[in-house]
């Protein structure tokens, strides 16, 4: 049995209505299911960021958006502006609309899942960290989510099936493609049920504690709350069993599913039907006003979990023109870009915990060349770290230390750039 991991903090995920008090001012996070935006959305976001924030729009590792340094007095106006643009369809569910989707897939289930989630009053109590995923079959978003739908190959002659994964684990649960949305909602309810059951067990094991008491389940000063499936004891197996029972489905044997190392889409990418997509890196995930203005004229803009953007469904000529326009605006569409795979947390001045201005230092130290992803962090918390193997560059207060995925620990460095380049090569 796996041991549960618990956290003593409360669920304080920021949102568009509940701003986070960052060191550089209040921070608003706007959920964007599947990272799907229109050009009109981008215009509204630029205007809101320019009017009340620092003018930039940040991309997160869940393909959500952040506006920084939002003045307190502007919170109501910000919410109203997002609501008018259709970017805040539910005030009760805004923190739980966490839906990742393969950026190159055109999966219409994103909208259906979002609407069904917002229509389910109980699911408003999901933690803000709980993540759904709709994977196109590439395996690029399924394995880091709490509950995910992943199309799988079947034997010849059998209908297509979709695996429902729990914290990246296959429990043999398969559903038809048109049953994905109810299956994911059932899985979310199963998570809440299992969490409540484990909480009750913890309360009963805590002398003098009542299930309805505010500190119910507190042991050794720590509140026994699981925010994600993997934080429950035997979470994937137990939540899968509850989901299968709710759906009336008998799970088959679990499969060992290949886990590709996801990489960001970059450059011109062929799509079905002779269409072409353009993938662009957004250096350190921060869109400047001039870049937002360029994106406003796109029909659709998809934000990726690698803090980039994709424009899909273009003719070959339009794709070439867009690639030129994005390059001109300072976005990166060349596969050899020095920014490929490079990400960073907020760092100074946005985060009071940061020991360095990691964005400035990443810019100074990052040279051309690809390899393992690199994530720069301002302290040991490691916010926004990629799910897969990556090089970690962590500020120490007197410099940096670097850890590669196969290494036994950190190496302290003074000349960061050379060590990062070497670490990326594995």
Residues that bind ligand SF4 (CB under 6 A): 345-347, 351, 353-354, 377-379, 381-383
Beta carbon nearer to ligand SF4, 265 or 378: 378
Q: Give the residue with the Cβ less far from ligand SF4, 222 or 381.
A: 381
Smallest distance, ligand SF4 to C-beta of residue 379, A? 3
What is the Cα–Cα distance from 394 to 377, expressed in whole angstroms?
5
- Residue 138 or 383 with smaller CB distance to ligand SF4: 383
- Contact present, 142 and 133 (Cβ < 8 Å): yes
| Residue 36 token pair | 């799907």
* Beta carbon nearer to ligand SF4, 351 or 372: 351
What is the Cα Rg of the chain in Å?
Answer: 22
Q: Which helix (H) or strand (E) holds 316?
A: helix 316-328
Tokens matching residue 173 = 């649960």
**Least CB distance from residue 387 to ligand SF4, whole Å?**
16
Strand-strand pairing, 308-314 and 36-38: unpaired
Closest CA to 119 of 90, 77, 83, 82: 90
Task: Find, among 76, 241, 125, 105, the residue nearest to 172 by Cα.
Answer: 241
Q: For 67, list phi and psi in degrees, rounded to 5.
A: -115, 130
Residue 207 CB partners (closer than 8 Å, separation 6+): none
Please report how close the Cβ of residue 393 comes to ligand SF4 at its closest, in angstroms.
11
Taking the complex as a whole, the smallest distance from the CB of residue 345 to ligand SF4 amounts, in Å, to 3
Q: Which is nearer to ligand SF4, 81 or 350 (CB)?
A: 350
Instruction: Name the minimum Å distance from CB 40 to ligand SF4.
Output: 31
CB of 349 to ligand SF4, least distance (A): 11
Our CB check for ligand SF4 shows the closer of 66 and 302 to be 66
Distance CA 252, CA 267 (A): 40
């Amino acid at each position: 049995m796996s041991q549960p991991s618990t956290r003593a903090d409360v669920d304080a995920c920021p949102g568009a209505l509940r701003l986070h008090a960052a060191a550089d001012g209040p921070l608003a996070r706007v959920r964007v299911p599947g990272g799907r935006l229109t050009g009109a959305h981008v215009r509204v976001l630029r205007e809101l960021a320019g009017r009340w924030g620092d003018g930039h729009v940040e991309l997160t590792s869940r393909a959500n958006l952040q506006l920084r340094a939002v003045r307190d007095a502007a919170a109501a106006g910000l919410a109203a502006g997002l609501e008018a643009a259709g970017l805040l369809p539910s005030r009760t569910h805004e923190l739980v609309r966490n839906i990742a989707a393969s950026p190159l897939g055109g999966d219409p289930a994103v909208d259906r899942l979002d609407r069904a989630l917002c229509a389910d009053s109980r699911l408003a109590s999901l933690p803000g960290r709980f993540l759904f995923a709709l994977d196109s079959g590439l395996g690029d978003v399924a394995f880091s989510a709490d509950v995910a739908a992943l199309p799988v190959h079947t034997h010849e002659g059998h209908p297509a099936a979709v695996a429902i994964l729990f914290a990246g684990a296959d429990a043999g649960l398969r559903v038809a493609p048109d049953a994905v949305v109810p299956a994911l909602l059932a899985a979310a309810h199963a998570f809440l049920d299992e969490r409540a059951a484990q909480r009750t067990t913890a309360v009963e094991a805590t002398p003098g504690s009542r299930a309805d008491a505010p500190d119910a389940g507190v042991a050794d000063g720590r509140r026994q709350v699981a925010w994600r499936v993997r934080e429950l004891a035997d979470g994937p197996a137990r939540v899968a069993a509850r989901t299968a029972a709710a759906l009336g489905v008998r799970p088959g044997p679990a499969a060992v599913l290949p886990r590709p190392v996801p990489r960001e889409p970059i450059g011109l990418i062929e799509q079905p039907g002779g269409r072409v997509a353009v993938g662009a890196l957004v250096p350190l995930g921060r869109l400047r006003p001039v870049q937002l203005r360029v994106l406003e004229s796109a029909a659709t803009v998809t934000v990726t979990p690698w803090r980039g953007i994709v424009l899909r469904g273009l003719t070959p000529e339009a794709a070439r023109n867009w690639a030129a326009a994005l390059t001109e605006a300072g976005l990166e569409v060349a596969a050899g870009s020095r920014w490929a795979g490079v990400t960073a947390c907020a760092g100074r001045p946005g985060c009071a915990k940061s020991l360095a201005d990691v964005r400035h230092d990443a810019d100074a130290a990052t040279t051309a060349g690809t390899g393992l992803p690199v994530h720069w962090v301002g302290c040991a918390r490691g916010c926004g770290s990629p799910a897969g193997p990556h090089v970690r560059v962590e500020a120490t207060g007197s410099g940096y230390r670097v850890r590669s995925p196969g290494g036994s620990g950190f190496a302290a460095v003074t000349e960061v750039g050379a060590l990062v380049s070497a670490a990326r090569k594995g």
